With several copies, the nearest count.
Chain A
């Protein structure tokens, strides 16, 4: 979606694309839809070797990235991942890694962070209260209990929830937010794997029933972490949006090509205005989506004061138009898109699910109004 890349970034894009084509092309993704994890054996370690989970982590903490622009590099990989509907944790791993890196981690947390960078363990992000009004999510609360905390509540829609060993949980504590790093195997914590619309991703419903966690599991400052959670939300949204853009781009190109090849009534269907104009409108939405997604990536990278607003604009725009485009492509493919063997539905599923994650478009629009004090 970026119009120009540095040579480092171009190299990163190429190696990412080569890795995906070799290790987990769409046919492989398709073959894994009924598997428990959705990812091929050894995929995460290999991806870690390419630096996928270290992008937002300083070198001294075991991380590093190619260009010095971690967010842009991560967005670039996310986009490539979207092009082939890659499974497995990427957004969540990077959000958690960035969060830990920035939090002034304890020794144990630092060790975990390094393990994340190496792809040896999986952690996912449980926004809990951070997007509580974005869905039915009742939120999670943290109550002090002696020197420990007790977590209660639920998160209905945890991305990569079934793959994770660790959860970065955002919980409400009084008027404030706290974050905890919690091992999945903890008494009172249940992770229920869910079937889902997007068969190339894995989600879980996570319930906390008075889960007792020690003080050492607190990430960053105790309380007062609205600012860092905001940053995490921005990262999650911007990476998820980049992934959607990648998926939209491939789907649109498939459809464009089909419209030039498929004939009806003695001519290519793309020569009919009905098809032509749908394609033009979709192309406009997509090009505009790339423009706003790039703006969002840059704003988050630069930690611009209005980054949150631009991210919400990108998430809302791409969330809505992504579905428009997926549905429009379906219309142009016609019946063939209705068959299991055709890839269209895999793209439709991913794009739709991403639109709903980390706040639906409406929620982001409401957020924009609040950011302006309305």
Chain B
């Protein structure tokens, strides 16, 4: 199927050599990974941990293993994704720099978006900072008044000579309090329909007038922030993409956010493996391992876990086969959004009341409660189930689009009317 994906090119020559050299370097320079890699949470990312990871990133950078497939002119190495893949394969046995969710927002989402839409002058200046671990990038994307309706952003950027003044509020910015920069969606024209007046900027997190506040979540962690822009000044040279054409940038970002191009998704899992251990021991503690209802729940979860994995591989394969359509990624997201809350609820039913209390600090026993509280984030964050259903129906199944009340009218008029609705269009 190599011929079909059209991604092999001359620069992928010598991958085996490259892999061998990478392995040698890794063995000498990086500590081996202890146990399975686990993404650090916001609580794990103490200043010390962040500093250590930045140091690791700088090590990669200095050895020439940062930005392997990114363009040479911006400090990358211009090699193929096969080279990058080979390096990552080898690196999986070592402790690589890991900034939690910021790794993804920086390296998989924001910078690839910048590389697609940013001006060369900006990229030459900015990308090396990313590669050396000095610029971790978050997203200033959602707003309190625009959740599912991302194009309805109301953060205002007003031109002032060579610079822009930003005012407004963002929310759900993942780990913004630990980031160095943020990619910020603003409205630069209020007199045109909503998709046509948007512009993106790169904003330093320590910019005067920008206040970043972690949000305390119901699971008592604080992975997300709310961000207040109060006359934040941004030079026009830090604009990403053309003026008022921010929706195109947004589209790129959304595709990246749903995991486009992740190398491993299309590999079908070899088998279901063991039953979910935490639920089996939950059932055991509840004395219910022999209870047929509990057994049904265990088998349900186990089945759904595996079905989710084979579905993910199938959808990725459909993408590789060229059938990829923006609705397809919604299948994986909707599956997760549908079954994650159900899985969390089944765990509660398996464990019963005693599973929902624990002696102070017994994190393992609190896990059932936390998973239950977190469960619904899968059906909301990154696009609600409802948005995914729209995506599947309209883009994969060809249903007529939802009639729009706002996409064709000047945004300021829409805002006014939403505050004083008149009923039918």
Listed in ascending order, the chain A residues whose CB lies under 8 Å from chain B are 3-4, 134-138, 156-157, 192-198, 203, 205, 256, 259-260, 263-268, 270-277, 279-281, 283-284, 287-288, 290-292, 294-295, 299, 304-306, 309-310, 313, 316-317, 323, 327, 330-331, 334-335, 337-341, 344-345, 348, 352-353, 356-357, 360, 362, 364-366, 368-369, 372, 374
- Can you offer 10 A-B residue contacts whose CB atoms are under 8 A? A4-B1, A265-B405, A265-B407, A271-B400, A283-B396, A287-B311, A295-B268, A313-B307, A337-B218, A369-B299
The residue from A193, A284, A348, A364 contacting B338, defined by CB atoms under 8 A apart: A284
B393: interface (CB < 8 Å): yes
The residue from A271, A309, A335 contacting B399, defined by CB atoms under 8 A apart: A271
The minimal Cβ–Cβ distance linking B57 to chain A, given in whole angstroms, is: 30
Binds A, one of B32-40, B143-151, B197-205: B143-151
Asked if residues B331 and A287 are in contact (CB atoms below 8 Å), the reply is: yes
Asked if residues B272 and A195 are in contact (CB atoms below 8 Å), the reply is: no
Q: How far does the alpha carbon of A205 sit from the alpha carbon of B353 in the complex, in Å?
A: 11
B28: interface (CB < 8 Å): no
Asked if residues A267 and B317 are in contact (CB atoms below 8 Å), the reply is: no
Residues of B within 8 A of A281 (CB): 334, 338, 389
Q: Is the interface of B mostly helix, strand, loop or mixed?
A: helix
B318: interface (CB < 8 Å): yes
Asked if residues B286 and A284 are in contact (CB atoms below 8 Å), the reply is: no
* Interface-centre pick from B285, B308, B399, B417 (highest chain A CB count, 10 A): B399
Q: How far does the alpha carbon of A178 sit from the alpha carbon of B36 in the complex, in Å?
A: 47
Residue of A nearest to B304 (CB): A317
Contact with A along B382-419 (1 / 0, CB 8 A): 00111011111110111111111111010000100111
B356: interface (CB < 8 Å): yes
Q: Is the interface of A mostly helix, strand, loop or mixed?
A: helix
The residue from A203, A288, A331, A374 contacting B384, defined by CB atoms under 8 A apart: A331
Asked if residues B376 and A288 are in contact (CB atoms below 8 Å), the reply is: no
Asked if residues A369 and B354 are in contact (CB atoms below 8 Å), the reply is: no
B421: interface (CB < 8 Å): yes
Asked if residues B314 and A287 are in contact (CB atoms below 8 Å), the reply is: yes
B359: interface (CB < 8 Å): yes
The minimal Cβ–Cβ distance linking B225 to chain A, given in whole angstroms, is: 11
The residue from B296, B386, B421 contacting A366, defined by CB atoms under 8 A apart: B296
Asked if residues A340 and B353 are in contact (CB atoms below 8 Å), the reply is: no
The residue from A266, A280, A313, A323 contacting B334, defined by CB atoms under 8 A apart: A280
Q: How far does the alpha carbon of A17 sit from the alpha carbon of B69 in the complex, in Å?
A: 46
Contacts known (A345-B373, A368-B302); A323 close to B345, Cβ less than 8 A: yes
The minimal Cβ–Cβ distance linking A234 to chain B, given in whole angstroms, is: 14
Asked if residues A335 and B147 are in contact (CB atoms below 8 Å), the reply is: yes
Q: How far does the alpha carbon of A196 sit from the alpha carbon of B172 in the complex, in Å?
A: 27
Residue of A nearest to B390 (CB): A276
Residues of B within 8 A of A138 (CB): 287
Contacts known (A136-B354, A195-B360); A270 close to B399, Cβ less than 8 A: yes
Asked if residues B307 and A334 are in contact (CB atoms below 8 Å), the reply is: no
The minimal Cβ–Cβ distance linking B117 to chain A, given in whole angstroms, is: 25
The minimal Cβ–Cβ distance linking B26 to chain A, given in whole angstroms, is: 33
Residues of B within 8 A of A317 (CB): 303, 307
The residue from A266, A337, A339 contacting B216, defined by CB atoms under 8 A apart: A339
Asked if residues A372 and B274 are in contact (CB atoms below 8 Å), the reply is: yes
Residues of B within 8 A of A134 (CB): 352
Listed in ascending order, the chain B residues whose CB lies under 8 Å from chain A are 1, 142, 145-149, 152, 171-172, 215-218, 220, 268, 271-272, 274-275, 280, 285-289, 292-293, 295-296, 298-300, 302-303, 306-308, 310-311, 313-315, 317-318, 321, 330-331, 334-335, 338, 341, 345, 348-349, 352-354, 356-362, 366, 369, 372-373, 376-377, 379-381, 384-386, 388-394, 396-407, 409, 414, 417-419, 421
Residue of A nearest to B283 (CB): A374
Residue of A nearest to B419 (CB): A263
* Interface-centre pick from B311, B334, B335, B360 (highest chain A CB count, 10 A): B311
Asked if residues A157 and B354 are in contact (CB atoms below 8 Å), the reply is: yes
Residues of B within 8 A of A270 (CB): 393, 397, 399-400
The minimal Cβ–Cβ distance linking A231 to chain B, given in whole angstroms, is: 17
Residue of A nearest to B289 (CB): A374
Q: How far does the alpha carbon of A18 sit from the alpha carbon of B146 in the complex, in Å?
A: 37
Q: How far does the alpha carbon of A93 sit from the alpha carbon of B292 in the complex, in Å?
A: 34
Residues of A within 8 A of B275 (CB): 369, 372, 374
Asked if residues A366 and B220 are in contact (CB atoms below 8 Å), the reply is: no
Q: How far does the alpha carbon of A289 sit from the alpha carbon of B406 in the complex, in Å?
A: 37
Q: How far does the alpha carbon of A137 sit from the alpha carbon of B146 in the complex, in Å?
A: 47
Contacts known (A352-B372, A360-B349); A334 close to B354, Cβ less than 8 A: no
Asked if residues A279 and B393 are in contact (CB atoms below 8 Å), the reply is: yes
Q: How far does the alpha carbon of A109 sit from the alpha carbon of B221 in the complex, in Å?
A: 47
The residue from A309, A335, A360 contacting B380, defined by CB atoms under 8 A apart: A335
Residues of A within 8 A of B217 (CB): 338-340
Residues of A within 8 A of B403 (CB): 267, 271
Q: How far does the alpha carbon of A283 sit from the alpha carbon of B313 in the complex, in Å?
A: 16
- Report the 4 A-B pairs with minimum CB-CB distance, sorted nearest first: A266-B406, A365-B299, A280-B389, A356-B353
Q: How far does the alpha carbon of A264 sit from the alpha carbon of B383 in the complex, in Å?
A: 13
* Interface-centre pick from B318, B357, B399, B407 (highest chain A CB count, 10 A): B357
Residue of B nearest to A274 (CB): B386
Asked if residues B149 and A374 are in contact (CB atoms below 8 Å), the reply is: no
The residue from A205, A266, A305 contacting B405, defined by CB atoms under 8 A apart: A266
Q: How far does the alpha carbon of A137 sit from the alpha carbon of B388 in the complex, in Å?
A: 42
Q: How far does the alpha carbon of A280 sit from the alpha carbon of B386 in the complex, in Å?
A: 10
Residues of A within 8 A of B358 (CB): 194-196
Asked if residues A197 and B331 are in contact (CB atoms below 8 Å), the reply is: no
* Interface-centre pick from A279, A291, A306, A339 (highest chain B CB count, 10 A): A291
Contacts known (A335-B380, A372-B275); A136 close to B357, Cβ less than 8 A: no
Q: How far does the alpha carbon of A169 sit from the alpha carbon of B298 in the complex, in Å?
A: 33
Q: How far does the alpha carbon of A134 sit from the alpha carbon of B402 in the complex, in Å?
A: 46
Asked if residues A335 and B359 are in contact (CB atoms below 8 Å), the reply is: no
Q: How far does the alpha carbon of A295 sit from the alpha carbon of B341 in the complex, in Å?
A: 25
Q: How far does the alpha carbon of A13 sit from the alpha carbon of B55 in the complex, in Å?
A: 57
Residue of A nearest to B360 (CB): A195
Asked if residues A374 and B393 are in contact (CB atoms below 8 Å), the reply is: no
Asked if residues B384 and A334 are in contact (CB atoms below 8 Å), the reply is: yes
Asked if residues A266 and B414 are in contact (CB atoms below 8 Å), the reply is: yes
Asked if residues A277 and B295 are in contact (CB atoms below 8 Å), the reply is: no
The residue from B349, B353, B399 contacting A353, defined by CB atoms under 8 A apart: B353
Q: How far does the alpha carbon of A203 sit from the alpha carbon of B354 in the complex, in Å?
A: 10
9 A-B pairs besides A198-B356, A345-B218 with CB distance below 8 A are A194-B358, A267-B400, A279-B397, A288-B307, A295-B306, A317-B307, A335-B171, A352-B372, A372-B274
